Homo-oligomer: A and B are copies of this chain.
Amino acid sequence: MAYPKKVEFTKKENDLASFAKAISHPARVAILKEIAKRNGCICGEIVEVLPLAQSTVSQHLKELLKAELIKGEIDGTKSCYCINWKTFEKFEKIFTEFFNKTKSQNQNCC
């Protein structure tokens, strides 16, 4: 056996996959874009704009929070969300690395 069998996946594989999972739903992509687009942070204006119920949007926001792609803070009755640039850039790096590493091995075999 030339290459060893994996018992489990590597941290990088898991990281890339879980980031990809966080943005694997069009609603979450749209939410991120909306948060970035607005001048300043927004809250449930997202609900106004998306074709989804408030509770569903809230769930997607929770997912994005879990992935640390956004930060949220409660301001009165409103919740204010914004992009977590630190994580965002971390993932951009992981992605770029993945693309470049893969490309560098392009042997044009078929």
Which A positions have Cβ atoms within 8 angstroms of B? 1, 3-10, 13-14, 16-18, 20-21, 23-30, 32-34, 36-37, 39-41, 45, 48-51, 71, 73, 80, 82-83, 85, 88-89, 92, 95, 98-99, 101-103, 105-110
Contacts and interface: CB of A to CB of B under 8 A. Distances in A.
Given A14-B26, A25-B17, A51-B6, A85 B105 contact: no
Nearest to A23: B20
- The quantity of this chain's copies bound in the complex is 2
Contacts of A28: 17
Return the 3 tightest CB-CB contacts between A and B, nearest first: A9-B26, A21-B24, A20-B24
Nearest to A71: B110
Contacts of A30: 6, 9-10, 13
A108 B89 CA distance: 14
22 contacts: A5-B49, A5-B50, A5-B51, A6-B50, A7-B51, A9-B26, A14-B26, A16-B26, A17-B24, A17-B25, A17-B29, A20-B21, A21-B21, A24-B24, A36-B102, A37-B105, A40-B107, A71-B110, A73-B110, A82-B109, A85-B108, A95-B99
